[in-house]
Amino acid sequence: MKRFSIIDCLRVLAAFSIVFYHLVALKGLWIQGTNFLPDWFVVASVYGGLGVPLLFIISGFVITGSIWGKTNPEFIASRISRLLPAYLAAVLLAFVIQVSQTSDFHKFNFNIFAVNSLLLQGALGAENVNGAFWTMWVEITFYSLLLFLARKKLTYSRVLGFAVAWPILAVYFRTLGVEWLAGALQQNFAPLFAGGICIFLIRKYGQKLLTWLALFVNVVLSTNQLLSQNFQNLTSYSGIQLSTMVGATLVFLCFASVYLGSVAVSFPKRVSSVITYVGSITYALYLVHQNLGRLIISKLQGILEPNLVLTISVMSCVLVAVLVNAFIERPFGSILHSKIRTNFESTSFHDRGGAS
């Protein structure tokens, strides 16, 4: 799937919104409060928690385009090689940070890091060693459902049906009280991904009424879910009361911006290359910022001016993300992708009886 420069811009915006939400807005992080920042910036940082829903919408759009026309083995190889290297680096970083802060190793839970390294904490209900890791299981659920759908050739009608049925079924099971099944279907986040799928279908097949109706349904479901639960979490974690009107507007703008990004004309090539690079480090930035940023703030506040502490924290996270992208994501991702594809091709060859 081709790169969309504005989608990359939105990815950058979402990532930094999440960074400032975690490093500015959360209660208890700044010992003497956030009075050193303008009130509007603190409130905007709380709304930055909506960067995660924006990333889910983008994922629905981009990943649907990624799997379209690929075999399942090709898609699996691309996803594993994209996600795993930076993720394992972030797990290792979390391990180093926790070890450096632990005085009693008899109470240190090594097993939880093993579970996290396998990306199974969401399935097992285990603790995330990094607060940002919770989204990984949500994404994996989406990939798994798409893979199941892609057992047969993907068509407009099948994918549109999935984009409508998935979030509605998840809500239906929650209404019936079948909480485990609603949770397994990611009822809280399904309409965000499904909305992204609808935007992809509009991009691929044009302006069809059924697609717009499906998108409308998912926007409504997303807005209802985010305002009824996720918004409450943002208020609870930050201690700042948010406007539901502003929240609903921002949810709508998340969908609208992804749609506009899918149809807008690309930037000039030189500008696009810069945006693409910055967009490429946002995954690593998302993974490392919370543990690393909070550690730096806890060590430096009271020693340096708060504004300087925040700047050092954010820039350090960006620097680590750049290093992870350059020395782990890219080289190991390429190797992993090649190895996985070779393994699938070899297995397929043997299964067909090609080896004597």
What tokens does 67 get? 């799997």
The Cα-based distances of 21 to 12, 92, 239 in angstroms read 14, 23, 12
Cβ pair 311, 300 in contact under 8 A: no
Helices (H), 21-155: 39-47, 51-67, 72-100, 110-117, 121-124, 134-149
- Does residue 348 have a pLDDT over 60? no
What tokens does 25 get? 């807005």
What tokens does 49 get? 């928690």
Residue 356: which pLDDT band, with cuts at 50, 70 and 90? very low
Residue 110, pLDDT score: 84
Residue 355, pLDDT score: 43
Of 58, 351, 341, 36, the closest CA to residue 195 belongs to 58
Residues β-bridged to residue 235:
none
Residue 346, pLDDT score: 75
Give the number of other Cβ atoms within 10 Å of residue 3's Cβ: 14
Cβ pair 297, 313 in contact under 8 A: yes
Cβ pair 310, 24 in contact under 8 A: yes
* pLDDT tens digits along 1-28: 667 889 999 999 999 999 999 999 988 8
Backbone angles phi, psi at 290, to 5 degrees: -70, -55
What tokens does 125 get? 């209900």
* pLDDT tens digits along 135-190: 999 999 999 999 999 988 999 999 999 999 999 999 999 999 999 999 999 999 99
Residues 200 and 140: their CA atoms lie apart, in Å, by 19
Residue 1, pLDDT score: 62
What tokens does 242 get? 């948010």
Global pTM?
Answer: 0.93
- State the chain's mean pLDDT as an integer: 91
Residue 159, pLDDT score: 97
The set of residues, in sequence order, having a beta carbon less than 8 Å from that of 161 and lying 6+ positions away, is none
